[in-house]
Chains A and B, each alone.
Chain A
Amino acid sequence: MEFAELIKTPRADNVVLHRPFHAAVEGTLCLTGHHLIFSSRRHDNAEELWLLHSNIDSIEKRFVGSLGTIAIKCKDLRIIQLDIPGMEECLNIASSIEALSTLDSVTLMYPFFYRPMFEVVEDGWSSFLLEQEFELLSSVTNEWRLSCVNKDFSVCPSYPPVVIVPKCVDDEALRKVALFRHGGRFPVLSYYHKKNGMAMMRSSQPLTGTNGRRCKEDEKLVNSTLRSGRRGFVIDTRPLPVAQQARAKGGGFEQEVYYPQWRRIHKCIERFNILQESFIKLVEACNDQSHNMDRWLSKLEASNWLTHIKELLTAACLAAQCIDREGASVLVHGSEGTDSTLQVTSLAQIILDPRCRTIRGFEALIVREWLQAGHPFQQRCAQSAYSNSKQKWEAPVFLLFLECVWQIHRQFPCSFEFTEQFLILLFEHAYASQFGTFLGNNENERAKLKLPQKTMSLWSWVNRLEELNRFQNPLYEANSLVIWPSVAPQSLQLWEGVFLRWNRPSKYLEEAAQETLNIIKYNKELQARVNALRRQLAEIEVDEEEQEEQ
């Protein structure tokens, strides 16, 4: 298919662009296969806006006489408005954008066409391999092994080809366990707590069904992470009634009789459409320009967004606490083990593991616990908060996770190597990107699409020095401790950086960030100068002493 077929009008003149907190600009609008490009005609300060079609969540058109207006609502929550003279032109452009922003084939997406303008220093597709992770692990324990049982994705289609499992469980047993777990997602190692040797595993729900099936291999696998005489915790992200209902559909939960050393804790982490609805309501509230305080607060409350944040953080803290304070191993799962499970295991690692609070470590966490672990990015992030379609797979699961990281970041502003901007960047790229990183739903699909060969990785771009500098937190001081955030409502705030990003004047906050940077930069400069002088003085003194001795 040719993109040209979809572009009915490639160019329109005398278009006026409106954005909040910017003066309206007149210019030319161009449509290409993957971009909407607006450039102002003024030569003195030419302004350009490039918008990926895949970033467009929905469009609305309106006519006043022959002047058409298109409101473009983006997945990064920005809303822009274009006034286009001429009804036919406007209709053509609107339908072109609509068609181009809803391409149904992945291989037509921009990452397959994108040619990087930068030099690739390190190929991001091979920056974070599980084998490296395992090497680190083997330096502290020999209780685990790498298994290639899934090398052709036949045991579990949503798992990566290699996984880390207890050493005492062989591949044959893993195959049996896979049959006992939803979608074949048998328990694998998610995190090893070096401090006390406790492990966090993740899986999907066991397929106990109504007649209480059991699987000896599963029991053995799970128990093999326990120290003798110690107990472990199963954190089920579903409330008990939901877990019980799941039995009717063949799912279920670990029963006490077969897992006597495990204590089950049920949490209530919402999924799918409930999250999506909450997201839509919140964004609607944030775009309400009314001056009424009550209305704002009640809309914020009704969206339930912060409730989800609080529940999720609480569950993650609980998992971290079981490991660090109770000295117990933990198994986390919900139903499929691809959404709430990953939220909990990755947040727990942010709390427990200082490495995950560095830029590199955080990227590794995203790759390991989200991309390789089979979070279906393509399904979940196909649409954002402005979408009108009622597909049931969209859900802001990843955004919710990022926001929880932000909440912890806000409480520990000096313990993260990256800034809030880095989290926002990941949010943007998960929904629309020139990079292939977040395409596909799991490693299996990515391999079939040959993404590593055909597209550029986000990490290849981000991990270059000039980009990294943008995301360095000037306040960062390595903190080797576990960081326990507060989950009280008073401690949680709306993530303005995402939800009010386009609705607030950002100037003052940017100035504050710049000032912070200046203060720290100046301090470091002085430190360097003082040190240099000290060295110089010391050298002179040494010389003199030598002279004296002579």
Chain B
Amino acid sequence: VENVRLLDRLSSRRAVLGTLYLTATHVIFVENGSETRKETWVLHSQISSIEKQATTASGCPLLIRCKNFQVIQLIIPQERDCHDVYISLIRLARPVKYEELYCFSFNPKLDKEEREQGWKLVDLNEEYNRMGVPNNYWQISDVNRDYGVCDSYPTEIYVPKSATAHIIVGSSKFRSRRRFPALSYYCKGNNASICRSSQPLSGFSARCLEDEQMLQAIRKANPGSDFIYVVDTRPKLNAMANRAAGKGYENEDNYSNIKFQFIGIENIHVMRNSLQKMLEVCELKSPSMSDFLWGLENSGWLKHIKAIMDAGIFIAKAVAEEGVSVLVHCSDGWDRTAQVCSVASLLLDPYYRTMKGFMVLIEKDWISFGHKFNHRYGNLDGDPKEISPVIDQFIECVWQLMEQFPCAFEFNERFLIHIQHHIYSCQFGNFLCNSQKERRELKIKERTYSLWAHLWKNRADYLNPLYKSDHSQTQGTLHPQIAPCNFLYKFWSGMYNRFEKGLHPRQSVTDYLMAVKEETQQLEEELEVLQERLANLQKSQSGDNKVKNKQQDRSKQFGLYTSNNSLANTPQEYSNDLKSFPSRSPSQGDEEDSALILTQDNLKSSDPDLSANSDQESGVEDLSCRSPSGGGCLPSEDSGKDSDEAVFLAG
């Protein structure tokens, strides 16, 4: 469709004319005119909703909301075209078969062997060995080898040594969806562990001897402690309501030596609505400070993030400081339980704060234990009530921790944002389906590629320059504060306003330091070369013209690097509620252009398809959410004087 206008979300006055293309996998918008022919690419699987608004004189507006928080506003001149686009997109954005998803057609040009290597990068067996199991207290159980006991659990599961197959099967029958207590994290230092399960089918009075024995076995696996915590991550009211349906929570009288604890994290429906409300706040056009803060409070989002974090802190404290094992569950044990177990593991074990460890953590607590990725993130058309930003919340918890502990994580914000993006993109097979069983049946590993290998290949882009493996912050357990005035939970504009570049810091300390470190590395290499050369020269005392030539090449290269650092000074578009601020001064164009070329180099490599706008120019814009060149690429033709003055008056 031609002559389509793409509106700028922050300023309705700015729009670009272009052509809209629909392909089997993407929506593509190509700008007319401008030399660069800026393109915007959106994967169909990223589309969360499409809204056709009332036709106006200028055309028919179409609003596309994406799961990675991009909002695209188009105006299509012909009503008929708009309707066609709308109908096609609705179909394309809601595939009904896994085979329709992008990962089955995505080919990053790797051969079979590389693909297999990629899938082997994250190996859970290795991970359990790293934790220190199997050992005297824990063993691997094959009770679920053909998913016979629990179809949403993995085949290989660690259980206490004293838990016989009889106990496990008995316990599984007393738990929702037969998700019996299994090991999530084992603390080598003091034998304390984190186990996870679903709720018991206790109703008002039911008991199960095997389940009680199972919990005993978990306690015995930690000889240093005479009780275990059972943490129910639901609000008490919800848990009590479940009793009427024959489910519920553990009765302290029936289980010996447990301490039972509720931690009120709300259910997926509350979280879905909360995110919805927060995104509405993000979408407000020129909100006042109170609109924003009130909206943020009213959405409850940060309260929920804090609840998850508090639960993680509680468990980490029990394990690290009290040396007490914890059994965590919610209702089914695949949403809140996954969040809380992974936050606690992250606080406890520095390994999970490395890039590789973080992949392992998601693989362990989320993918292998049957977090329902397909349902929660709506990869296939399904029940909208199943959709909920469960893992998004976990990712945000990690970001909040990164803000408080800037040196503790090996990876940077970009790493988190890219993982979030790919959970929805369906470009890689990792997050397909709802369980390991389904993934095996679909032969995911033979037919798709692994995101982890892709991220690992580009790990240089995701490094936190402040991280050092021998730093005190890197070691041991993290102890975050609890009160909001001590641990400031912030709105994460890097994620939720990811595509509104104008809102972000205009210079990124992370990118700056990454560039410095890269330069440092080059300097180190050059130093070595120079020293060697000097030694040779002094030895032989014979002239060598080649040296000189090479040296000149080097210095050229350094010139480039210096300007790479100074690109942090890129001028920015200034926009605010007056809408009157010109986008940018033409006289500053040079710097901006050079910035684009420079950032492109280090970002383009990472992921051309990740960005929604992904040709040379726009790819930079999207990926560089923390890059210093965050500003818009639009020239400022429309900062006409008349319109500006008119707005001043309004202001």
B473:A481 contact, CB within 8 angstroms: no
Q: B554: nearest residue on chain A (CB-CB)? A: A534
Q: A291-B482, A297-B302, A511-B471 are known contacts. Are A491 and B504 too (CB-CB below 8 A)?
A: yes
A512 interface residue (CB < 8 Å to B) = yes
In the docked arrangement, what's the CA distance between A419 and B490, Å?
A: 22
Given contacts A481-B588, A486-B574, A509-B406, contact A523 B523 (CB under 8 A): yes
CB <8 Å contact, A285 and B505? no
**B488 in contact with A494 (CB, 8 Å):** yes
Q: List the A side residues contacting B543 at CB < 8 Å.
A: 541, 544-545, 547-548
B471, A307: Cβ atoms under 8 Å? Answer: no
Interface check B381, CB cutoff 8 A: no
A450 adjacent to chain B (CB < 8 Å): no
> Once the chains bind, are B289 and A414 in contact (CB under 8 Å)?
no
A/B interface sample: 17 pairs, CB < 8 A? A289-B483, A289-B485, A293-B302, A293-B489, A296-B484, A301-B293, A304-B290, A314-B576, A317-B574, A317-B576, A479-B566, A483-B506, A484-B581, A500-B488, A512-B406, A530-B530, A533-B530
Interface size counted on chain B using CB atoms at 8 A:
100
Bound form: Cα–Cα A520–B487 in Å: 29
- Residue A522 contacts which of B520, B576, B591 (CB distance < 8 angstroms)? B520
State the interface size on chain A (CB cutoff 8 A): 85
Is the pair B486, A477 in contact by a Cβ cutoff of 8 Å?
no
B497-532 interface code vs A (CB 8 A; 1 in, 0 out): 100101111111100110011011001101100110
| Chain B residues within an 8 Å CB radius of A310 | 288-289
List of A residues within 8 angstroms of B447 by Cβ? none
Query: Is A118 in the interface zone, CB < 8 Å from B?
Result: no
Which residues of chain A are within 8 angstroms of B651 by Cβ–Cβ distance?
265, 267, 318
Q: Say whether A492 contacts B289, CB under 8 Å.
A: yes
Q: Does A505 contact B (CB under 8 A)?
A: yes
Binary flags per residue of B574-591, CB closer than 8 Å to A gives 1, else 0: 111110111001001001
Nearest-CB distance from A6 to chain B (Å)? Answer: 35
Q: Which residue of A lies closest to B636 (CB)?
A: A325
Judging by beta carbons under 8 Å apart, are B520 and A526 in contact? yes
Over the window 345-363 of chain A, the binary record of Cβ atoms lying under 8 Å from chain B Cβ atoms (1 yes, 0 no) is 0000000000000000000
Q: Does B21 contact A (CB under 8 A)?
A: no
Chain A contact residues, CB within 8 Å of chain B: 233, 263, 265, 267, 285-294, 296-298, 300-301, 304, 306-307, 309-310, 314, 317-318, 321, 324-326, 410-415, 475, 477, 479-494, 496, 500, 503-505, 508-509, 511-512, 515-516, 519-520, 522-523, 526-527, 529-530, 533-534, 536-538, 540-541, 544-545, 547-548
Interchain Cβ contacts within 8 Å, total number: 251
B294 closest partner in A (C-beta): A301
Q: Which residue of B lies closest to A290 (CB)?
A: B483
Tell yes or no: B542 within 8 A of A by CB.
yes
Q: How many Å from the CB of A296 to the closest CB on chain B? A: 4
Decide yes or no: A534 and B551 within 8 Å by CB, A484-B574, A508-B473 being known contacts.
yes
**Residue of A with least CB distance to B587:** A195
Residue of A with least CB distance to B526: A530
- 5 closest Cβ contacts across the A-B interface? A484-B574, A489-B292, A479-B569, A512-B406, A296-B484
Q: Is the CB of B645 within 8 A of A263?
A: yes
Contact segment of B85-93, B346-354, B533-541 = B533-541
> What B residues does A519 contact at CB under 8 A?
465-466, 513, 516-517, 520
How far, in Å, is A503 (CB) from chain B's closest CB? 6
A483, B485: Cβ atoms under 8 Å? no
The secondary structure that dominates the A interface is helix
User: For B582, what are the chain A residues with a Cβ–Cβ distance below 8 Å?
Assistant: 321, 325
* In the complex, per-residue mask of B455-495: 1 if CB is within 8 Å of any chain A CB, else 0: 00000000001101001110000000111111111110100
Chain B residues with CB under 8 Å of chain A are: 10, 282, 286-294, 296-297, 300, 302-303, 306, 310, 404-408, 465-466, 468, 471-473, 481-491, 493, 497, 500, 502-509, 512-513, 516-517, 519-520, 523-524, 526-527, 530-531, 533-534, 537-538, 541-543, 547-548, 551, 555, 565-566, 568-569, 571-578, 580-582, 585, 588, 591, 628, 639, 641, 644-645, 648-649, 651
Which of the residues B407, B466, B571, B576 comes within 8 Å of A481, measured between beta carbons?
B571
Q: In the complex, are the beta carbons of B548 and A307 less than 8 A apart?
A: no
| The residue from A290, A492, A511, A516 contacting B509, defined by CB atoms under 8 A apart | A516
Nearest residue (CB) in A for B295 is A489
| A411-B507, A413-B507, A488-B503 known; A301 vs B488 contact (CB < 8 Å) | no
Q: A297-B297, A483-B571, A515-B466 are in contact. Are A508 and B502 (CB under 8 A)?
A: no
Known A484-B573, A488-B287, A490-B500; further 14 A-B contacts with Cβ < 8 A: A263-B645, A267-B651, A301-B297, A309-B289, A413-B509, A475-B513, A484-B574, A487-B577, A511-B472, A516-B509, A520-B513, A523-B520, A526-B520, A537-B547
Can you name the residue of chain A whose Cβ is closest to the Cβ of B508?
A: A413
Q: Chain B's nearest CB lies how many Å from the CB of A323?
A: 12
B136 to chain A, nearest CB (A): 37
- In the assembled complex, how far is the CB of residue A197 from the closest CB belonging to chain B, in whole angstroms? 15
Q: A519-B465, A540-B537 are in contact. Are A484 and B526 (CB under 8 A)?
A: no
A412 contacts which of B507, B530, B577 (Cβ < 8 Å)?
Answer: B507
CA distance A330 to B286 in the complex (A): 25
Indicate if the CB atoms of B574 and A321 lie closer than 8 Å: yes
Find out whether the CB atom of B302 lies under 8 angstroms from the CB atom of A512.
no
When chains A and B are docked, how far (Å) is the Cα of A166 from the Cα of B534?
63
Most chain B beta-carbon contacts within 10 A, residue among A488, A508, A509: A488
Q: Which residue of chain B lies nearest to A292 when distances are taken between CB atoms in the complex?
A: B484
Given A325-B639, A504-B481: A293 and B576 interface contact (C-beta under 8 Å): no
Shortest distance between the CB of A254 and any CB in chain B (Å)? 16
CA distance A541 to B486 in the complex (A): 61
Task: Please give, as numbers and ranges, the residues of chain B lying within 8 Å of A290 by CB-CB distance.
Answer: 483-484
**B523 contact from A509, A520, A526, Cβ within 8 A:** A526
Q: How far apart are the CA atoms of A135 and B449 in the complex, in Å?
A: 67
Contact of A297 among B296, B471, B578 (CB under 8 A): B296
Q: Give the residue of B407, B588, B591 whose beta carbon is less than 8 angstroms from that of A511.
A: B407
Task: Specify which chain B residues have a CB less than 8 angstroms from the CB of A293 in the assembled complex.
Answer: 302-303, 306, 484, 489
Q: How far is the CB of B8 from chain A (nearest CB, A)?
A: 14
Q: Is the CB of A526 within 8 A of B524?
A: yes
Given contacts A490-B292, A508-B404, contact A537 B551 (CB under 8 A): yes
Q: Which residues of B are found within 8 Å of A548, using beta-carbon distances?
A: 543
**B residues less than 8 Å from A415 (CB atoms):** 507, 568-569
Q: Which residues of A contact B292 (CB under 8 A)?
A: 489-490
In the complex, which residues of chain A have a beta carbon less than 8 angstroms from the beta carbon of B649?
A: 263
B520→A412 contact, CB < 8 A: no
Q: Known A301-B290, A500-B486; judge A537-B530 contact (CB<8 A).
A: yes
Are the C-beta atoms of A536 and B407 separated by less than 8 Å? no
Minimum CB–CB distance from A418 to chain B (whole Å) comes to 15
Contact between B512 and A414, CB atoms less than 8 A apart: yes
Report the Cα distance A523→B524, complex, angstroms.
9
B293:A484 contact, CB within 8 angstroms: no
Given known A-B contacts A293-B306, A485-B574, A493-B490, A500 and B290 have beta carbons under 8 A apart:
no
Bound: A509/B575 CA distance, A: 31
Report B-chain residues with C-beta under 8 Å of the C-beta of A306.
Answer: 289, 293
B303 near A490: Cβ-Cβ < 8 Å: no
Question: What residues on B are CB-neighbors of A480 within 8 Å?
Answer: 569
Distance in Å: Cβ of A386 to nearest Cβ of chain B: 16
Task: Indicate which residue in A296, A412, A533, A545 contacts B505 across the interface (CB closer than 8 Å).
Answer: A412
**A300 and B468 in contact, given A285-B485, A508-B405 (Cβ under 8 angstroms):** no
The answer to whether B297 touches A298, judged by C-beta atoms less than 8 angstroms apart, is yes
Q: How far is the CB of A246 from chain B (nearest CB, A)?
A: 20
A294 CA / B299 CA spacing, docked (Å): 10
Contacts of B573 in A (CB 8 A): 484
Given contacts A293-B484, A492-B289, A503-B486, contact A317 B581 (CB under 8 A): yes
Given A263-B645, A541-B548, answer yes or no on A288-B485 (Cβ-Cβ < 8 Å). Answer: yes
Asked if A486 meets B526 with Cβ closer than 8 Å, knowing A492-B289, A512-B466, the reply is no
Contacts of B286 in A (CB 8 A): 488
A537 touches B505 (CB 8 A): no
Selected from A265, A484, A500, A508, the residue in CB contact (under 8 A) with B572 is: A484
